[in-house]
Structure 1
Amino acid sequence: MAGQFEIFTDAESKVRFRLLAADGTVLAVSTAFDDKRQAANGIMAVRECAGTGLIREARSNPWTGQRGSRNASPVRHHNRHLPAV
């Protein structure tokens, strides 16, 4: 069985969707939308780009979890795209 999208209303009365795996595991939760139509459009956008989206590695500082600091030397981020598996 394939995964599914589920539209729901959050605690702030905003509409969101989540992507569920076949076993019910939550794989992703969307940003907040004003209404169901906008959430449905968001689902369509995810469907369109998910199959062709590239994978990019985002590097962060393992000590702080942040992407560098003001006092740190500049870090060059390489936009490596990893192949889909």
Structure 2
Amino acid sequence: MAGVFEIAAAGEESYFFKLTAPDGTVVAVSPLFSTIKGAAAGITAVRENAATGLVVDHSSAAKPAKPARPASSAPLPDALVTSR
């Protein structure tokens, strides 16, 4: 079973949506929207972009990948050296 998007009111003139996993775990909560149509458009955007979105790990456990060294001991060309 797929997750469920739920639209809810947040006060009198604000709406948000949440994505809930089949086991009831809340996976995502949206920012506030001023209309229900805005919240529905947010759901559409998540549906369209989630499957193709990149995963970027900003956690402290993530370490930048080092470029592979060529078999020779010659230094890497500048075009292959990256810095963050």
The TM tier, using the shorter chain, reads 0.5 to 0.7
Output the CA distance in 1 between the equivalents of 2:39 and 2:15. 7
Structure 1 segments unaligned to the other structure (5+ residues)? 61-75, 78-85
Instruction: Establish whether residue 24 from structure 1 lines up as the match of residue 41 from structure 2.
Output: no
C-alpha distance in structure 1 between counterparts of 2:59 and 2:25, whole Å: 26
- Following TM superposition, where does structure 1 have runs of at least 4 consecutive aligned residues deviating by more than 6 angstroms? none
Aligned twin of 1:33: 33
1:1-85 to 2 correspondence within 5 Å? 1-11=1-11, 13-59=13-59, 77=84
**1:51 and 1:12 mapped to 2: Cα distance?**
33
Count matched residues: 62
Task: Answer with 1 or 2: which has the greater Rg.
Answer: 2
* TM-score (norm. length: structure 1): 0.65
TM-score, normalised on structure 2? 0.66
Q: Percent identity?
A: 50
CA distance in 2 between counterparts of 1:58 and 1:42 reads 24
User: How far is the alpha carbon of 1:22 from its aligned partner?
Assistant: 0.6
CA RMSD of aligned residues (A): 1.8
C-alpha deviation, 1:11, in angstroms: 4.2
Q: Deviations over 1:50-81 (max 9, x none)?
A: 00000001246xxxxxxxxxxxxxxx64xxxx
**Bigger share in strand:** 1
